[in-house]
């Protein structure tokens, strides 16, 4: 994988959708995440596994904010797992750690 790329592995488990992110969530990859996160069922749950996410920039933070808003409008749950220290710092700076459910491990 080239520097700056993001790969996303999707695992649909009924009402649960798990997206495992690997690489960098930035300006060039934020739209990919938003597209890959479509189709979460009403009352379902989207979990992003960030354990292999190397970098998160402000565009990535906006993508996570967008997913948080979408989850409320579309009425499904949204959570993050595997949050590394650099990503945790960005979430705290944007106060997303107070809005999004951050868990220790993936389901």
Q: Is the pLDDT of residue 4 over 80?
A: no
- 2 occurs within a structural domain: no
pLDDT class for 84, splitting at 50, 70, 90? very high
Domain extent, residue 37, equals: 8-103
Quote the number of domains for the chain.
1
User: The CATH number of the domain where 40 resides is what?
Assistant: 3.30.750.24
Q: How large is the average pLDDT for residues 80-88?
A: 94
Tokens of 25: 């969530």
- 88 occurs within a structural domain: yes
- 1 occurs within a structural domain: no
pLDDT at 63: 97
- 30 occurs within a structural domain: yes
- 95 occurs within a structural domain: yes
* Surface-to-core class of residue 101, CB atoms within 10 Å of its CB (0-12 exposed, 13-18 middle, 19+ buried): middle
Q: Which of 10, 26, 29 is nearest to 59 (CA)?
A: 26
pLDDT at 28: 92
pLDDT class for 74, splitting at 50, 70, 90? very high
Under 8 Å CB-to-CB from 58, ≥6 apart: which residues? none
Q: How large is the average pLDDT for residues 84-93?
A: 93
Place of tokens 């409320």: 72
Q: Is the pLDDT of residue 1 over 70?
A: no
Query: pLDDT by residue (tens digit) across 19-73?
Result: 999 999 999 999 999 999 999 999 999 999 999 999 999 999 999 999 999 999 9
- 3 occurs within a structural domain: no
């Amino acid at each position: 994988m080239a520097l700056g790329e993001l790969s996303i592995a999707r695992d649909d488990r009924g009402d649960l959708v798990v997206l495992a992110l690997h690489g960098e969530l930035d300006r060039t990859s934020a739209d990919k995440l938003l597209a890959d996160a479509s189709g979460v069922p009403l009352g379902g749950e989207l979990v992003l596994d960030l354990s292999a996410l190397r970098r998160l920039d402000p565009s990535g933070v906006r993508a996570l904010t967008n997913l948080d808003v979408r989850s409320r409008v579309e009425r499904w749950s949204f959570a993050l797992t595997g949050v590394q220290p650099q990503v945790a710092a960005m979430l705290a700076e944007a106060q997303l750690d107070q809005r999004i459910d951050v868990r220790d491990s993936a389901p």
